[in-house]
Chain A
Amino acid sequence: MYVNKNLAISDTGFIFNPSTGDSFSTNEVGKFIIDLLKQKKSKEEIISQIVLHFNVDKVNADKDLSDFFAMLKSYQLMLDENE
């Protein structure tokens, strides 16, 4: 599970994928997660970091992260290790 390391992300959450030319908009938590994915952090590590830095419990962080991963995959921004 990883994101394209060439993704360009601005401080305001603007994302550019140079492989496809697509661009995206994300919010602060989304950018936080993508930065951690680029550092090859696992899902569990990301949840821990979200709970550490943001005012949310683990259950909701986990639920939202699963949904976010599904969106990243649908946009082909995140791929499994064997892909």
Chain B
Amino acid sequence: MSKKSYERPYIQKLNTGTMNKFGTKTEYAPVTAIEGVPVKKLIADYGSPVFVISERQIRKTYHEAVRAFKTRYPKVQFAWSYKTNYLNAVCNIFHQEGSWAEVVSMYEYQKAIQNGVPGKKIIFNGPDKSIEDLSIAVDNESLIHIDHLDELYLLVELLENKKKKARVAIRVNMDTGIYPMWDRFGFNYENGQAWNAINKIMSHPELMELVGLHCHIGTYMLSANAYSVAAWKLSDLAMNIQLRYEKTISYLDLGGGFASANTLKGSYLQGSDIIPSVDDYAEAITSTLLNFGFKQENLPTLILETGRAMIDDAAHLLGSVIAIKRLSDGRRSIVMDFGVNILFTAFWYNHKISPAQEFSHHVEDMVVYGPLCMNIDCVRESVTLPLLNRGDNVVVHRVGAYNMTQWMQFITMRPKVVLIDMDGKTHIIRENETLDTINQMEKMPKHLKSINL
């Protein structure tokens, strides 16, 4: 007698009178392959959990963004935001496409240099630049985006000794009508700090050339109009510099912050239903610049440092079910082999999780925990999934931004990262950590070398 396929027994009380007009999103459509490569094969070949990045999706997203801006504005330059994902292979896909590098530390700066990015095409942002860092950036003719007056004075001191001229911009913060207002970085537009910094820079024409103005108004921005306000305020500064100093500003850097389709925690609607499209952002920014009143020959280059929206969709995290449990209040919970230490964005997003194999139509609400022996290790507080069993595989969507930079070696090791290239071939672009990886950083004092238990 051939046996029937088994699905663990399930019973659910049916409630009436509690209808939700938006329904409950049920993620039971299985995702069995990434870019044509079966999930089961990826896990068999590279282990579980494993990050999988699609080169095709990165290039597709990039092309869509470039099309949105270049069809609206004649001078556009993208710069890849290293902190979003600085795996060298990922960076080089963007660099192959023409992106410059946008870095916020000497560590990232050196990665960009080692990746082959010319110093002139590195934008050096961030509040922490030592005199040594600034010296390297000046020597390489990188674009130094000054964050505060202390940095400006340090740069002046350096340049007076170096007898070299630096290409600089200032970061400007401003009220664009959104909350919270990011005012911790750069110089404020409304209270005159930005203009004060510009005057100081322009008073050192022998040391510095003010080539650009930069802002970065927030992250996961749900309002395209805020970029219009930002573009107007930067244009206003650029125009005033032209009028007062007869100096043409070469570029306006509108930073990043475009939203990806992930769903923020607490959001009533799915992220994909509420975020502006890249065309919305492009229209808001470029129409403001074009209509501001720049002479055609003085039209500044538009630089964009968008990270999250360019890479989030391209990466998936594949994992496996370790255990199925029931909590004291009757809720189902499952324990996965990946936790918040490698999926940092689980603190911000309700990540979409799909099963990687077929199931019946029966589903249950559950809490998804990671493997860490820490109470904070919760990947999803409530999600409706099929009747998963130990060993089943799942796919977590849109994990490309910030996870592979903010991940921690905590309790467990960080896993492999695999790239699927344009031909569907797989490549390990970052090995998994081992005990040796961690231990090689440690040193044991002689008197602690032996123990006798």
Chain A positions within 8 Å of B, measured between CB atoms, are: 15, 22-30, 32-33, 50, 52-56, 60, 64-65, 67-68, 70-72, 74-75, 77
Contact = CB atoms under 8 A, between A and B. Distances in A.
A55 B6 contact: yes
B13 A28 contact: no
Contacts of A25: 11-12, 14, 362
B330 A33 contact: no
Contact of B9 (A15, A22, A30, A53): A30
Contacts of B387: 27
B4 interface: yes
Interface string B1-40: 0011111111111100000000000000000000000000
A29 B4 CA distance: 10
Given A27-B360, A27-B362, A22 B13 contact: yes
B8 A64 contact: yes
Given A22-B14, A26-B9, A67-B326, 10 more contacts: A22-B13, A25-B362, A27-B387, A29-B7, A30-B10, A33-B9, A52-B3, A54-B4, A60-B389, A71-B330
Interface residues of B, number: 18
Contacts, number: 68
B6 A27 contact: no
B12 A24 contact: yes
Contacts of A74: 330
17 contacts: A22-B13, A22-B14, A23-B14, A24-B11, A24-B12, A25-B14, A26-B9, A29-B6, A29-B7, A32-B9, A33-B9, A55-B6, A56-B6, A64-B9, A70-B326, A72-B11, A77-B11
Contacts of B8: 29, 60, 64, 67-68
A54 B7 CA distance: 9
Given A27-B360, A67-B326, A70-B326, A53 B10 contact: no
Contacts of B7: 27-29
Q: Which of B4, B11, B360, B362 has the most CB of A within 10 A?
A: B11
A50 B4 CA distance: 10
A68 B13 CA distance: 13
B12 A29 contact: no
A71 B4 contact: no
B14 A27 contact: no
A53 B4 contact: yes
A67 B9 CA distance: 9
